[in-house]
Chain A
């Protein structure tokens, strides 16, 4: 299953959403439906499995807590994806602040960590050196096959910004691969 694509699951979520926060079984079902895709997305953003699991769990709790007040509960997957991207961005920003205060921290460990076998590949290393919004847009485009409009909706940014993020992100990837 890839992020936010299977229409059947979105319909499923729409049906259970109003009850989910009051019913453990339904909350459980919501988690099982959406957490794996969110974890894939987080893993591609961070490259770190443990961190990704923590981000997804936190993001899920945040979005599920607001389920009753979401304007479009049927778009739970998109809200979850956006929350993961925002949390990942906050996490790395915090890490950079900490790193500035603790000079012994090796900045390269913030973007590259030997967690999975493919993470050391030049292309994926270059991906994880992109700014978080570019990274998120690229992953949504090339892993989830999301359209520009879907990416704009998911990340809550203007369409023009999506095109700009993708264009600049790809340019940096080409540069990164060429320099390697």
Chain B
């Protein structure tokens, strides 16, 4: 059964249909949130929150956008809120840089561990980008969405999404590739 039918059933209260939607989109939503926030626990919490909020709001969903687009919009909005909260609480400047340096895993002899360290390093570098850029780079590169879809999810223009992506990927190339090589 496609998403549209499941949404129709869920709108009239069919929790099983909604459960199928959750199962279908849960992993991808988590992965996107994990890449945007760089934090497993937070991404799990936000994924749950996004699905509960989507359920509550389903009565206002008229299907002009795909369910997944609508869900992503909720999820990314929650991520923005969480990032803003974190920024208010987080140390700044050199304190944060020092923490990141301490947290950087040392390169090990095992190839698999090197790969793990690279993934974690990249996640931290993405998490240092401005909100819009991190969301765009994840939605574009990981979720492979078009700029039109990204603009719809992030409530921005296609041009702005394009420019944000180009800036983000250029910064990551500068930071991530050089640092990964030196570690």
Whether chain B is bound by chain A comes out as no
Residues of A with Cβ closer than 8 Å to B? Answer: none
Residues of B with Cβ closer than 8 Å to A? Answer: none
